[in-house]
Structure 1
Amino acid sequence: MTPRTSQRNPRLNAVRKSLERHREYLALLQGVTEVANESSELQPVLAEVVSMTCESLGWPVGHAYIVEDGELRARGDWYADEDVETTPLEALIDRTESLDSTPGTEQALADAEPAYRPVADVADPQRQRALASLGLSSIFHVPIRSRDSVVAVLEFFAPAVEESKLADLEPILASISAAVGRVAERETSARQYRELMRAEFDREHAELRAAELQALATKLRQRNEELDQFAYVASHDLRAPLRGIGNLASWIARDLEPHLTPDTRRYLALLENRVQRMEALISALLEYSRVGRNAIGAEDVEVDALVREVIDLLGSRDAIEWIVEPLPRIHCQRLLLRQTFHNLMSNALKHASGEDARVRISAEPARVGRVSGWRFAVADNGPGIDPRYHERIWEIFQTLRPRDEVEGAGMGLSLVRKIVETRGGSLGLDSQLGEGATFWFTWPASPVDEPAREQG
């Protein structure tokens, strides 16, 4: 009997090669799964998975993109075989950012599934030449999803791949995509949890701060009301004894008239003058304390007519030229607006100078906080006010000239500021020495809601 020649069975040999290939696939998947299970940060996992995949499948070049703000950004860490020079290719890919301009990723992004593309199909000639010079003719893209969004793409470059192997690679790459996607989902969940905790902390902090501010506002309102009440009571109670002092001085001057010396007459006149000034100051203080204390109904007001009433009340038509530009009609507390104009116009009347003394009243539309309104201005051609004193003049009891030289208690502009700010408006002064002064204020076209005030 003739012995048979020993030789390998072709079918058995093919099965052995297939099993070896699948064993390598299983080792790759096991390695990727372990890496994915051990990490909650995506970027380091991407680098290791690219390295394992290239080494296991014999692919010489691989890297990863990160999706940020709708753009693909190539990461700086690449895998490349020792004998492969990838610098020109890296330069081409690193400059690619737009999703639309990144060749080969369209299908992977659109389907959110691994995709294969021959290098010959790449539209970018520079990239095609760079890949061909390295002997690379196949491109694989593996999208990494977190829930419904692609957050990264793995890109591999390889020599020609047999058609029979492409079918085997598809489930392998899909499994890699799913495993790494779980890392991306954990990272997304952790980030959302941190953002949720931060938002909760910010909300609690904001609520606490709001409560503190509300308590502070309440305390401040109480203090202001107490001060208003004190000013009201003090000014009211001071009037009676002050009036008594004035009466006594008047009686003394009348009864002792034949016996008074010139100096005594001067002292009594000075005393009566001081009493009158004190009465004016107390009246102004009482008026100041009343602002905001009493509810005043709003009505339609023709501002032009209101200003002309104030001019008639001041009784100065012959001494000064009043220029009244067109003024609007607004819905407001008439008494408060009239008081504001009266104080500003009276102040302008005192300081307008020369034979050509004049005061101009004007208005223009303006925003008052979040509502529409008007910016009113009262301008005189007086001596003007040094900018150093533009803040001081609004303070209570302040005048820039000696009290013997100017009539008034120094309360008019303080009262104007309180009225305007209570209505939600703002005010200011535009002036230089020798150039006159323009006092302006803003007023809402309709009343602005304000906190309830104590009635009295």
Structure 2
Amino acid sequence: MTPDPAPEPAEHEMPALIQGFDWAATPLGPREDWPISLRVVTELLLAQPLPMIVLWGPELIQIYNDGYRIVMGDKHPAGLGQPNQACWPEVWDFNRSIFEGVLTRGETFTFTDQPLALRPSDPTGPGYFTLNFSPVKDDHGAVGGVLAIVTETTARVRAAQQAELHRITVERRNATLEAFAVLTRDLGLETDALTLIRRVQEVVLPLLAAGFVGYYVPEDGLWRIKVQVGLASFPELQAAVDAGFPFETTPNLLIPWRSGQAHYQDVYDPAADQLLGNNPYPQATATLPVRVNGQVQGVLGFALNDTRVWSSVDRAVLGTVERSLTLALERLEQTRHAEQQRAALQAANEELEAFAYSVSHDLRAPVRHIQGFSGLLRKGMGSQLDLKASHYLGVIDEAAGRMNVLIDAMLELSRAARLPLRLGTVDLEALVLRSRQDLEMEAQGRAVQWRVTPLPLVTGDQDTLQQVVSNLLSNAVKYTRPRETAVIEVWAEAREGAWAVFVRDNGVGFDPQYQDKLFGVFQRLHLEREFEGTGVGLANVRRIIARHGGTVSAQGVLGEGATFGFTLPR
């Protein structure tokens, strides 16, 4: 049978125990013979809820109250009336000097917030108590004993500990946020993957503890380290890191590689990674998978010299590191791919432009020959040239002239892409004024209303921007030819980071469904017999504006006019 548990002591049992105790068997003698001061202090401590004990006489005989029973623990009730040294031999060497100071010199001692495991079953750990030792005078004014008062401070101490932990957590969080602000900036600027990973290591390792961090990738059956910050805890381990760990038998790296999940060890087991011997191996590790476009590319491993319980804050920080590094590497990969595409496109464009330039040059000679021999034929036949033959030669001359115009347009388009831009401050109003002067002959005899608002100074290449303005104004004058009164408006709008410049006319307009074709080479929406042109001007405008970092636009309604615009960075 299981014995009944020992009954809990009564809440106020000490007065009865002291009253019924055989004090005559102790050095104190019967209670009626006690000094008045001892009897008074005994009554006083029995009336107090605080744990209190008086140690009387040279033998330090113990008398304590109900509150002090928790301090006595299993030494109660046998400790009542017992000399302190006999009751507490395990702490006598420490207590003796205190008691001597109180008894012989009348000193007072206070020990603040001492951790004491007075409640072994308390899951929150030891409590905290302030211990005060002070002298008690006998009836003759000499020190007759020691009064010890125990005040529990557990709530205050734990509140202070929580406040300090909160302060440390906030400081660490602030340091982490500052570090991530720097890291985020650096990740956006860096263009080399391994340099980017090193920067992550340099920022994050100081947030954790002393140790080292490495980036490992599998090569030829081994985990090869590509980037490392900090050194291993002893030279032989660093040599093993440099040589490479076996791929299949290093679970600390293999687990995150295969699972795609971070792997944390509060207490690192080196034997699991085939690291043997009594050496100062890392005590705690965290290994994170490094992904690019969903595929694990390597493992970022933190090895700390001291044990560490990886808290939720730690895991959140490292989780953010993992995600930030993945995004940065993916952005870097996208940038590299885009740069390769841009380089290939640029090479293709340069080749195409060189071809167009070469073809345009090469076409001039046969066109000159056609024109030359046509003239010789006309001259040689003289009066024998009938009307039909003269018409045929006229068609040849017109076609050759048309070919020369197209060749000139192709050369101009090629030059617009090949010539370097000479950037400076450009006055758009001056460009418009010059273009209007150049168009005076074309507009002579027509009613043209110009509505030009003040235009800004911009940054660009003056010569090529003059081509843009001249082309747009020339088109406006040309396509308003059927109107009795042509109205041409020019204005600019300030936008975020750019100037937008517009040219609007009340001319023949165009069908909006074809507006995407307007800026293409040799694209025309009107018959040549109606409006002359090569179909290259707007393509040239688009190319020049694109080289300035801007965009072009067109809006129109057939029979109601059109608005063309371009933007330039501010």
Superposition TM-score, scaled by structure 1 size? 0.57
Q: Does 1:236 align with 2:330?
A: no
Note if contact 1:428-1:439 (Cα within 8 Å) is conserved in structure 2: yes
Residue type of the partner of 2:446?
A
Shift of 1:254: 3.2
Alignment of structure 1 residues 346-361 onto 2, 5 Å: 346-361=474-489
Note if contact 1:146-1:188 (Cα within 8 Å) is conserved in structure 2: no
* CA deviation vs aligned residue, 1:91-132 (integer Å, no higher than 9, x gap): xxxxxxxxxxxxxxxxx9xx89449xxxxxxxxxxxxxxxxx
Note if contact 1:320-1:358 (Cα within 8 Å) is conserved in structure 2: yes
Shift of 1:279: 1.1
Q: Does 1:256 align with 2:384?
A: no
Number of residues of Structure 1 aligned to a counterpart in Structure 2? 304
For residue 346 of structure 2, what is the aligned residue in structure 1? 221
- The structure with the greater share of residues assigned to strand is 2
For residue 166 of structure 1, what is the aligned residue in structure 2? none
Shift of 1:251: 2.4
Shift in CA distance, 196/147, structure 1 to aligned 2, threshold 3 Å: farther
Alignment of structure 1 residues 307-346 onto 2, 5 Å: 307-314=432-439, 315=441, 316-328=443-455, 330=457, 331-346=459-474
Note if contact 1:231-1:289 (Cα within 8 Å) is conserved in structure 2: yes
Which one of the candidate residues 268, 274, 279 is aligned to 2:404?
Answer: 279
Residue type of the partner of 1:406?
F
For residue 26 of structure 1, what is the aligned residue in structure 2? 120
Distance in 2 (alpha carbons) for counterparts of 1:184 and 1:433: 74
Distance in 1 (alpha carbons) for counterparts of 2:157 and 2:412: 76
Note if contact 1:145-1:184 (Cα within 8 Å) is conserved in structure 2: no
Note if contact 1:361-1:376 (Cα within 8 Å) is conserved in structure 2: no
* CA deviation vs aligned residue, 1:169-210 (integer Å, no higher than 9, x gap): xxxxxxxxxxxxx99962211221222222223223322322
For residue 168 of structure 2, what is the aligned residue in structure 1? 148
Query: Structure with the greater relative contact order (CA < 8 A, sep ≥ 6): 1 or 2?
Result: 1
Note if contact 1:343-1:412 (Cα within 8 Å) is conserved in structure 2: yes
Distance in 2 (alpha carbons) for counterparts of 1:335 and 1:143: 69
Residue type of the partner of 1:362?
V
For residue 501 of structure 2, what is the aligned residue in structure 1? 376
Which one of the candidate residues 512, 520, 530 is aligned to 1:395?
Answer: 520
Alignment of structure 1 residues 152-163 onto 2, 5 Å: none
Note if contact 1:144-1:184 (Cα within 8 Å) is conserved in structure 2: no
Alignment RMSD, CA only? 3.7
Distance in 1 (alpha carbons) for counterparts of 2:395 and 2:157: 97
Note if contact 2:483-2:507 (Cα within 8 Å) is conserved in structure 1: no
Which structure's CA Rg is the greater one? 2
Residue type of the partner of 1:250?
G
Which one of the candidate residues 306, 309, 324 is aligned to 1:199?
Answer: 324
Shift in CA distance, 352/223, structure 1 to aligned 2, threshold 3 Å: same
Residue type of the partner of 2:514?
Y
| Runs (5+) with no aligned partner, structure 1 | 1-6, 34-107, 116-141, 151-181, 446-456
Shift of 1:300: 4.9
**Structure 2 SS opposite 1:213:** helix
Shift in CA distance, 186/306, structure 1 to aligned 2, threshold 3 Å: closer
Note if contact 2:456-2:492 (Cα within 8 Å) is conserved in structure 1: no
Shift of 1:400: 0.9
Residue type of the partner of 2:462?
R
Alignment of structure 1 residues 416-435 onto 2, 5 Å: 416-435=541-560
Shift of 1:417: 0.8
Note if contact 1:146-1:184 (Cα within 8 Å) is conserved in structure 2: no
Shift in CA distance, 332/399, structure 1 to aligned 2, threshold 3 Å: same
Q: Does 1:294 align with 2:419?
A: yes
For residue 409 of structure 1, what is the aligned residue in structure 2? 534
* CA deviation vs aligned residue, 1:301-320 (integer Å, no higher than 9, x gap): 44334323322323123224
Deviates more, 1:381-390 or 1:210-219: 210-219
